Amino acid sequence: MAGHVSVTIGDIRAAAQRLQGHARRTPLLSSPFLDRLAGRRVLVKAECLQHTGSFKFRGAWSALTALGADARGVLAFSSGNHAQGVAYAAALRGLTAVIMMPRDAPAIKIANTRALGAEVVLYDRTAEDRDALGGALARERGLALIPPFDHPDVIAGQGTVGLEIAEQACAMGITSAQVLICCGGGGLSAGIALALQADAPDMRPRTVEPEGFDDVAQSLAIGQVVELPLRAGLCDAIVTPRPGRLTWPILQRLCGPGLVVSDAQALAAMALAHERLKLVLEPGGAVALAAALFCPDHIAGEAVIVTASGGNVDRAVFRRALDQGDIHADCGT
């Protein structure tokens, strides 16, 4: 599928077939305590329980299994979750993996990526152009470039989360809900949006981002791409300067207004997920739950579905989340 400029529901279903028996079918969890706090039923799609601790394995496996038989190896760039997903998928496929990671990525993500057998190349995300560096390295070594979100096979793989949400929610008697999605470049959001359009058209996808990194929310609000300065943030997994070129048209067409939460709200959601669902979330993987819990006035309906998209968090950050008190401040849009 390399070279395609769009993604279809057929691509997502094909990715689901390739993922069958390889990716985990993650549960849709709930807690009466979280329901009470949110003022509605909250269903949490626990992708933190996916292989390598995030949904990223889905897109990685989808992309790597779509490569030709002559593929020598792959190169990816990532702050950590895509890195681990690609490294693990490559190891399972017997392919070489080179991963470019920012120097300020969480230590656990760098260590895990190396432990999965990948070569890690560190770069300065504020001073170096990762796309240019990655492209040059891929050409030099003859590797297939697998970007973290702007790739049709990656988007198709992430869309399988949406297929599962539609099926699992329907089995619970829910066919209409807003689906809140932790959003960086938009691969997961775009994939889920396409899947829901086909299998659960009364569910409305909405992106959720941290304050100061809300390029997608700002873009959706004005109808054109907004690019923000690239810098580090607590929610490292979803820090991107702009929506992707492939993902943006899908987000603009199918998603409702974006939601924005504070770092404090993300940390509080991490603590509540641990306390009430026994889940370990990283800050970027907790922003959708934070929006559901702390932004009730910006959400409609009797039920809301959220992605808990990743759980690869450094111990110090997790301790900070557990030590922080509850917060109930309103969210922006």
Active-site residues: which are they?
56, 309
Residue type, 277: L
At residue 132's C-alpha, the angle toward residues 67 and 86, to 5°, is: 35
At residue 301's C-alpha, the angle toward residues 299 and 303, to 5°, is: 95
Query: CB–CB of 184/239 below 8 Å?
Result: yes
Those residues whose C-beta lies under 8 Å from the C-beta of residue 222, and which sit 6 or more positions away, are: none
Written as six digits, the tokens of 7 are 């993604």
Query: CB–CB of 234/318 below 8 Å?
Result: no
Closest by Cα among 303, 267, 309 to 288: 309
Three-state DSSP at 99 gives: strand
Written as six digits, the tokens of 318 are 């997790």
CA atoms of 296 and 316, how far apart (whole Å): 29
